[in-house]
Chains A and B, each alone.
Chain A
Amino acid sequence: AQKITQTQPGMFVQEKEAVTLDCTYDTSDPSYGLFWYKQPSSGEMIFLIYQGSYDQQNATEGRYSLNFQKARKSANLVISASQLGDSAMYFCAMREMGAGSYQLTFGKGTKLSVIP
C-alpha cells in the first residue's frame, strides 16, 4: 500500500481564490511528521509547511495552512488567496520517526495551475 496518496494529479484555481490539495497517509508509527513541498518548473523543492503527529493545532505559514485530521489520516494543504506564482507541483511527504530514519516518503504530487 502507498504510504502517501495524492489523488489529484492536476488542479485549477482562479487567482485570489483558496485551494485545497489533498493528501492521505498510511502509517502504524505513532510518531511521524508530515511535510509539504512546492516544486516550480525550475525544479527546486521548496519547503512549505510541517505538521507533527503530536501537534495539537493545525500548522500555518503565511498563506499556507495544513488541515490535519489525524483520525482520517489526512493532511491537506490549503493555499489562501492564490497567486500566479503558486502554479507548480506540490508534494506531500511523511517521515516516520519511530524507525530512527530520516527518510521522507513522497506522494506522486499535484500540479496546481492558477488561472488569471
Chain B
Amino acid sequence: GAVVSQHPSRVICKSGTSVKIECRSLDFQATTMFWYRQFPKQSLMLMATSNEGSKATYEQGVEKDKFLINHASLTLSTLTVTSAHPEDSSFYICSASDRDRVTDTQYFGPGTRLTVL
C-alpha cells in the first residue's frame, strides 16, 4: 500500500514552453500533497503544499505564477511549470500524506527529471 505515481518520469522541453507533471496516490486518498525540488547532490526543497479543493500554499521564494499547482481530487495533484527556462531544469518530486495512518507519513513519487533546453 501507499503507492504514489508521478508522470512523466523524464521530460525535455524547449525554453518558453509549459510542462505539466502529474502526481497520483494510487491506493489511498491524499488530502494533502507536497511538491519538492531537488538539485544534484542536495536535499529536497519544499516548493508548495497542495490541499484538495483549495489553493496551494507556496514556500517563500517560489513563484506561484510560474509553478502552478492544482489539486483537483483526493488522488491527483498537478504541477505546471509555465514558460520554462533552463534554470528550471531540476528533479521534481511529489509526496502524498496518508491521513489514515497515525504517523501521517509522506509517501513519495518516483520523481520527474525536467531538462529545459
A residues adjacent to B (C-beta < 8 A): 33, 35, 37, 42-47, 50, 52, 91, 95, 101-104, 106-109
Contacts and interface: CB of A to CB of B under 8 A. Distances in A.
A50 B43 contact: no
A102 B101 CA distance: 13
Contacts of A104: 34, 46, 95, 106
B18 interface: no
Interface stretch (B20-28, B81-89, B107-115): B107-115
Given A44-B109, A102-B49, A103-B49, A50 B44 contact: no
Contacts of A101: 49
B44 A91 contact: yes
Contacts of A42: 110
B42 interface: yes
Main secondary structure of the interface of B (DSSP, over half): strand
Contacts of B110: 42-44
Contacts of B103: 33, 50, 52
B91 interface: yes
Contacts, number: 52
B97 interface: yes
B91 A43 contact: yes
Contacts of A33: 103-104
Q: Which 3 A-B pairs have the closest CB atoms?
A: A45-B108, A43-B111, A44-B110
A44 B111 contact: yes
Interface in B39-86: 42-44, 46, 49
